[in-house]
Amino acid sequence: MYTQAMDTGPQEARQAVRSAEEAALETRFEARIDEGGFIEAKDWMPEHYRKTLLRQISQHAHSEWVGMLPEGNWVTRAPTLKRKCILLAKVQDEAGHALYLYAAAETLGSSREQMIDALHSGRAKYSSIFNYPTLSWADVGVIGWLVDGAAIMNQVPLTRCSYAPYARAMVRVCREESFHQRQGFDSLLAMMQHGSDAQRAMVQDAVDRWWWPSLMMFGPPDGESVHGAQSARWGIKRISNDDLRQKFVDACVPQAQVLGVTLPDAALKWNEARGHHDFGVIDWAEFWRVVGGHGECNRERLAARVKAWEDGAWVRDAALAHARKQAAREQAAKDQAAKEPVA
């Protein structure tokens, strides 16, 4: 094959040599994936692998970024100073997660501006869960318990993702998410054990509204997951959408018992033969409606993000102007030092 290519024109010959080189690189890449190794930002990778990661990591970053809004809504209305401090720290953590993830996505060749523009123009996705409203203080606890709980279930396997910058970001994110999950559970437990009947009813109402959307966070059923099989083959996703969802349901049932809340699913019951809980049918039409931009809060969430970005333009401009001045001062000092005679 190589010799045949050499017989053709110079352009085709170059292409054939390049593709022979690429084939060798691809073989090395596949071998590294097969042995469970990691790919670093500067390593060669197939274009489809790069694009898949960029899609998933930027969506993940957008989710953390938009995910600050539903809880941020309650910072000024937290019931005690302690809960307000915890909530402020949590919302700041989510901003930090978005920043690690945008930085990881940037290693794949997209700029922060391009990603933000894709989010603001509605071209990029973010998790469906953040398009539901936070109607009461109990929603904040339930987000910690269920939403952060689902996020951890999904993200712990991502600490072993084949793309090393994403895997490393996930280690820190998961540590913080597990703290978030526990603060949510603790807040709900306080209301359930020491609260009034009205507060207990408020917790149950929040659980009723957030349970099914939390199950949707894991994505469509495996049979309809467009990217699932290829991402599993590349070691990006280590556990499938349905298997993660099942693990989440199994973990939540005993936690709900400790809290004293009822999960809103009449079909939920232990299946001895499977060693798992059976659960009811998810409303996938609702999921796709929300993903498609028609959830209760899609418009409000995007408008809030765009406004924050526009309102913050002067801060970015000031930071850039400061950096430019600093660099000019450092350069002037270096130039001056170069001019001074050596003693």
Interface residues with ligand FAQ (CB under 6 A)? Answer: 55-56, 59-60, 63-64, 67, 94, 125, 127-128, 143, 147-148, 151, 154-155, 216-220, 225-228, 231, 237, 241, 291
The least CB distance from residue 173 to ligand FAQ, in Å, is 8
Nearest CB to ligand FAQ, comparing residues 55 and 276: 55
Classify residue 143 by burial, with Cβ atoms within 10 Å: 0-12, 13-18, 19+.
buried
Task: Using the minimum distance from each CB to ligand FAQ, give the nearer residue, 59 or 200.
Answer: 59
In this complex, which beta carbon is closest to ligand FAQ, that of residue 190 or of residue 282? 282
Question: What is residue 278's three-state secondary structure?
Answer: strand
Distance CA 143, CA 70 (A): 9
**CB of residue 301 vs ligand FAQ: minimum separation in angstroms?**
12
Q: What angle do CA 284, 289, 294 make, to 5 degrees?
A: 155
- Secondary structure class of 276 (helix, strand, coil): strand
Q: Which residues make beta-bridge pairs with 276?
A: 271
Tokens 């969802």 locate to 245
Token output for 325: 């001045």
Name the residue nearer to ligand FAQ (CB basis): 64 or 106.
64
CB of 78 to ligand FAQ, least distance (A): 15
Helix (H) or strand (E) holding 271: strand 269-271
CB of 216 to ligand FAQ, least distance (A): 6
Rounded to the nearest whole angstrom, what is the least distance from the CB of residue 119 to ligand FAQ in the complex? 13
Give the nearest distance from C-beta 325 to ligand FAQ in angstroms: 36
H-only helix segments in the chain: 2-7, 10-34, 47-66, 68-72, 81-106, 112-120, 137-142, 149-155, 164-194, 197-216, 228-233, 241-259, 284-289, 298-311, 313-339
Residue type (1 letter), 48: H
In the bound complex, what is the minimum distance in angstroms from residue 57's beta carbon to ligand FAQ?
A: 8
- The number of residues in the chain equals 343
Quote the least distance from Cβ 302 to ligand FAQ, whole Å.
14
In the complex with ligand FAQ, which residue's Cβ is closer, 56 or 199? 56
Q: Between residues 102 and 200, which has the closer beta carbon with respect to ligand FAQ?
A: 102
Which pairs from 188-191 meet CB under 8 Å and 24+ separation? Answer: 188/138, 188/141, 188/142, 188/145, 188/259, 188/261, 189/258, 189/259, 191/138, 191/141
Nearer to ligand FAQ, 200 or 279 (CB): 279
CA 184 to CA 198: how far, in whole Å?
A: 19
Is the Cβ of residue 56 or residue 204 nearer to ligand FAQ in the bound state? 56
Indicate the residue among 199 and 225 with the shorter CB distance to ligand FAQ. Answer: 225
- Closest-by-Cβ residue to ligand FAQ is 67
Smallest separation (angstroms) from ligand FAQ to the CB of 180: 7
